Amino acid sequence: MHYYMTASELAQRIKKKDVSAEETARSFIERIEELDGSIGSFITVEKDRALDTARDIDKKLRQGCELSPLAGIPIALKDNICTENIRTTCASKTLEDFVPSYSADVYERLEKAGCITLGKTNMDEFAMGSSTESSVFKVTRNPWDYSRIPGGSSGGSAAAVAAGMAAFALGTDTGGSVRQPAALCGMVGMKPTYGRVSRYGVVAFASSLDQVGPITRDVRDCALVLNHICGHDRRDSTSMNVAVPDFQQGLEEGIKGMRIGIPSEYFGEGIEQGVRDRVTDAIGVLEDLGAECEEVSLPHTPYALSVYYIISSAEASSNMGRYDGIRYGYRAKDYSDLLDMYIKTRSEGFGAVVKQRVMLGTYALSSGCYEAYYKKAQKVRTLIKADFDSVFEDYDLIVCPTSPFVAFRLGEKTDDPLENSLSDVYTIPANIAGLPALSVPCGFSEGLPVGLQFIGKPFAENTLLRAAYAYEQNTGFHTTHPQVKGGAMQ
């Protein structure tokens, strides 16, 4: 089995019966058993369930049933996506033993398509982080260099795909948590337009920012997965009732005449020279393919990180209120009364990063601070969105780096949460404005992957995919894979 085949290629092999779905699933499970002791991508592996699903797909194939293009494809899900009867932990002690009684909309859709769920992937606790180091279970390592982070918070998903332990994975993106780990692991990662994919059954971090997105090997796979996870869901009040096009249509139309804005604010202080060089080279490729690339300005970009921190922390403090030890989740063992039980449950159940964000958010929403912090952040959010609206009057899309630097070393930024979150300085604005954004590999710096980010107009995923596909097919960085090795880490 070639673990670095795209989902599209694997699907063709299964459909032609060159290989069975069971053989495919079994080989990926063996791959996880061989490598995950070193990388730490998975919190839960569902071996028996995966093989049962695979056998069912094979049975349907033998019967001549018409199956979806994703039938038999082995996938991984970030562990904040609810899966009925499969543990869903959010990498937190609070939900260590939580088994949902229902499934997220995205999981239902992929299950219906015949995908084989291999397991649930590691993440920053409750998706609050950029390095997958705050999980209560383990640290995930970058398959390109085991001494470095894979990005976050969907680091387990990105590392699993990069190491060939899943054909594709789902993550969630609140401030860059799909695109940034995809970039640092050399994968394709997309955050669709806010409301394009249902958030029903996805454990909330910051509800006005969260969005589910795919991490895949190439742009065609990304389009294929979007075809299956997008669509209106009446169970999610923020789900948009808009038509879902075939995202694979028009991929090969090229970008001749496309107008691309290059925001000057994304190339300032803090960007590594190697990243700047690779992104500049990529812009040159886009110009060679016939795109018109011009410098533009998004003047409120410097405020995006502060706005994100206030809004996301405020929403997190509200969303974390449900973990009180009463209804479900962790409960402290020794307490004197109800208040003591609340305090001890939350103190023992949450890690340092989650506590920090809850306290910050509670402060920002408190009497006397609401106007100065939360309300002001929402006003600046409007200005950031207006910057994008203004640029998109004249340009089809925006191109910039995904992350200002390549994957940093494990433990390097754990003591400074703000320094850690600077990884997301170029991804956060798209979340604030609710825009679709996509990261593709654009080369290497210090032997580590660099990501190129495309940002588009609302619901213009097709345009992003077309531009990214044109770039990808004319460079081939997506065909380079890490040299991974098995064995348990010391």
The question of whether 157 is a catalytic residue gets the answer no
Whole-angstrom CA distances from 135 to 33, 108, 254, 442 are: 20, 26, 41, 29
What residue ranges in 257-363 does DSSP mark as E strands? 259-263, 292-296
Q: Among residues 41, 92, 135, 153, which one is catalytic?
A: 153
H or E element in which residue 311 lies: helix 304-319
The question of whether 78 is a catalytic residue gets the answer yes
Cα angle value 403/138/88 (rounded, 5°): 90
Alpha-carbon gap, residue 320 to 126, rounded angstroms: 9
DSSP-based three-state secondary structure for 419: helix
With CA atoms as reference, report the closest residue to 358 among 379, 340, 342, 382. 342
Structure tokens that stand for 112 in this block: 């219906």
Alpha-carbon gap, residue 209 to 127, rounded angstroms: 12
40, 135 in Cβ contact below 8 A? no
17, 11 in Cβ contact below 8 A? no
Alpha-carbon gap, residue 354 to 41, rounded angstroms: 21
What residue ranges in 389-461 does DSSP mark as E strands? 397-401, 437-445, 448-456
Residues near 428 by Cβ (< 8 Å), separated by ≥ 6?
A: 175, 176, 304, 305, 308
The question of whether 92 is a catalytic residue gets the answer no
Alpha-carbon gap, residue 152 to 425, rounded angstroms: 13
Q: Among residues 8, 20, 135, 177, which one is catalytic?
A: 177
Q: Among residues 8, 20, 78, 313, which one is catalytic?
A: 78
DSSP-based three-state secondary structure for 216: strand
Whole-angstrom CA distances from 400 to 53, 289, 337, 477 are: 41, 17, 54, 17
User: At 313, which amino acid appears?
Assistant: S
Alpha-carbon gap, residue 189 to 182, rounded angstroms: 5
Is the preceding omega at residue 153 within 30 degrees of 0, hence cis? yes
Residues marked as catalytic: 78, 153, 177
